[in-house]
Structure 1
Amino acid sequence: MKTITIIEDGDRARLIYVRTDGDVTVFDRDRKFRFRTDISGAETTCQILERVVPAIVQAETARLKIEALADRCRTGWCPGYPDEIDPYIPQRTLRRARFGIDLIRYPEDDEFYSPATILMGIEMGTGPSTSLVGKSDGTECVTGEILWIDAAREWAVCEDAFWWTPAEE
């Protein structure tokens, strides 16, 4: 793992954790986001940064668009088909979706009540999994934290993507 720290004005620090498999975590004030990128062949810090920085910009753009979509859904708007979603927002399909709790984010605490914060299920028909926990097509997958979910549970806006959750046929 490589840790890169960027310090601005002596009081603000941004941390970038880059694992050898391309799993990148960015910490910036009260925000944290993760994504995968290709860092094969990069050995020095500058080479790693050269590969990671464009991916950070792309991930940050997608994150902002996902948050805007969640805000739009909170006003009552509901997408009816995939073309209504911004193309920068990844769309995935999750079969047999069920609620779960990310216990790493919410450690055991008697005073803290943790509602369901993620969805778990089988990622289907979307090519290689984008989940940081899931594997390839057709295997168990875990979404990012739920930002907004349809009352009928047909779709969910999560921090990592827009997830279609069709009912089982």
Structure 2
Amino acid sequence: MKVINILEDGSPPRSVYVRPTGDLTVYDGERKYKLKVDIGGAETTWQILARVAPAIAHAADVRSKIDDLADRCRTGWRPAYPEEIDPDVPQRTLWRSRFGIDLIRYPDEEFYSPATILMGIASGAGPSTSLVGKTDGAVGVTGDILWIDAAREWAVCEDAFWWTPREE
């Protein structure tokens, strides 16, 4: 594994953990990204950095769009159709969703931990950036909830926009 640390005056350090398989974990302040990048043939730190930098920049751009979507929802706007959401924002479906707590992130809470994620049966395309991840048709876990609809029909989470339809 290679670890690349980026230090800037007055800013918290940023770290990129690159595994030989191409799995990346990026710590950027309070944010954590998990990505998969093809680093085949890259041997030096500079070659690896050249391969992973575009993926990190794209993930940060998508997260910015997710944050913008959450801000828009806080104003009272409600999406009715998938086409109303920026196409760069991943959309997934979570059936039978329930609130959950990510105990990996909050292991030291003694008495009360707020529900910060949703769990259920996941479906949708694309990789997940949540800590636990997901597979189609299996137990799915979202990233932290940024905004959730009062009727729990959808949620904006740090990794994607999640539709949470009620089962009839």
Q: Same fold (TM over 0.5)?
A: yes
Q: CA deviation at 1:77?
A: 0.8
Partner of 1:59: 59
> What are structure 1's unaligned runs of at least 5 residues?
none
- The one-letter code of the counterpart of 2:53 is V
- The one-letter code of the counterpart of 2:22 is G
Mapped partners of 2:10, 2:72: distance in 1: 37
Mapped partners of 1:103, 1:12: distance in 2: 24
Deviates more, 1:67-76 or 1:129-138: 129-138
- The one-letter code of the counterpart of 1:98 is R
> What are structure 2's unaligned runs of at least 5 residues?
none
Q: CA deviation at 1:47?
A: 2.3
Partner of 1:161: 160
Mapped partners of 1:19, 1:116: distance in 2: 31
Mapped partners of 2:126, 2:63: distance in 1: 20
SS of corresponding position for 1:66: helix
Partner of 2:84: 84
TM-score w.r.t. structure 1 length? 0.87
Deviation digits for residues 48-80 of structure 1 (CA, Å, limit 9, x no counterpart) = 212210011111011111111111111111100
CA RMSD of aligned residues (A): 2.0
Partner of 2:138: 139
- Mapping of 1:14-33 within 5 angstroms? 14-29=14-29, 31-33=30-32
TM-score w.r.t. structure 2 length? 0.88
Mapped partners of 2:15, 2:154: distance in 1: 32
Asked if structure 1 preserves the Cα contact closer than 8 Å seen for 2:33 and 2:129, the reply is no
Asked if structure 1 preserves the Cα contact closer than 8 Å seen for 2:90 and 2:126, the reply is no
* Identity in percent: 64
SS of corresponding position for 1:88: coil
Mapped partners of 1:10, 1:97: distance in 2: 41
Partner of 1:130: 128
Count the aligned residue pairs.
166
> Quick one: structure 1 residues 12 and 155, their matched pair in 2 at CA, closer, same or farther if it must change by over 3 Å?
closer
